[in-house]
Structure 1
Amino acid sequence: MPVETPNMDVTTLKALAEPNRLAIIELLRESPLTVGEISHQIKLSQPHTSKHLKVLSDCGIVKVLAKANRRYYKLRPEPFQSLESWIKSFQGIMEERFDNLDRLLKELKNEGEF
């Protein structure tokens, strides 16, 4: 019987796989930042940073907050909740494998082979 798994958007994984975008995500964990603040901290030009933020925005990972004449980028929780749900769907499989390994090690120990 197939196990039902949560729907995982591959574009989220692709966006997070790029090292500069992942660095941006790590920065935004703390607080919303402007393009200038982000580019300064990850040592990328503003145009390159803006391109990465566009990708993150297009796939719904970040949202833009306008305050006066500045645009702040902030993480959206939904993509990370979906990612967490998808990862948790593997938990049962991994627990079963660890239980099998534990049983095997106990059998080998009882037989004096380990």
Structure 2
Amino acid sequence: MTQIDPFETLADPTRRRILAALRDGERPVGDIVEAAGVHQSGVSRHLRILHEAGFVSVRPSGQRRLYALRPEPFQEFEAWLAAYRRLWEARLDRFGAALEQRQKTQSEEPKA
């Protein structure tokens, strides 16, 4: 089986809309179609891709199939982003310190 790149999977805006539609919990295809604004055939194709990539689970419920988000791929993204977050936070800390220093310097300047 070919490994599916999660970034490629999420690059598609329709798939991101589908994931957003599933944020509040399990939903049938019809609800996802309405929320995503795409024909059922398109939603079904994107759900298949999301399922193969591990982003969604599916369970039968009578005649319906209910889709839900799986937490694991998002946890993997979180772990991947953690190293970059440290970089951003360090830069923001330096920026904050520079702003504080500037405000302190400006408040100490005599007013004309």
TM-based fold match above 0.5: yes
Alignment-derived partner of residue 75 in structure 1: 69
Alignment-derived partner of residue 18 in structure 2: 24
Q: 2:58 aligns with which of 64, 82, 93?
A: 64
Deviates further, 32-41 or 47-56: 32-41
Q: 1:50 aligns with which of 38, 41, 44?
A: 44
TM-score by length of 1: 0.75
Give identity over the alignment, percent. Answer: 34
Alignment-derived partner of residue 85 in structure 1: 79
**Structure 1 gaps, min length 5:** 1-8
TM-score by length of 2: 0.77
3-state secondary structure, aligned to 1:71: strand
Q: 1:42 to 1:96 in 2, by over 3 A?
A: closer
Distance in 1, matches of 2:93 and 2:8, equals 32
Aligned AA (1:74): A
Deviates further, 53-62 or 98-107: 98-107
3-state secondary structure, aligned to 2:6: helix
Larger radius of gyration: 2
Give the RMSD, CA atoms, in angstroms: 2.4
Q: 1:103 to 1:34 in 2, by over 3 A?
A: closer
**Structure 2 gaps, min length 5:** none
Alignment-derived partner of residue 36 in structure 1: 30
RCO comparison, higher one (Cα < 8 Å, 6+): 1
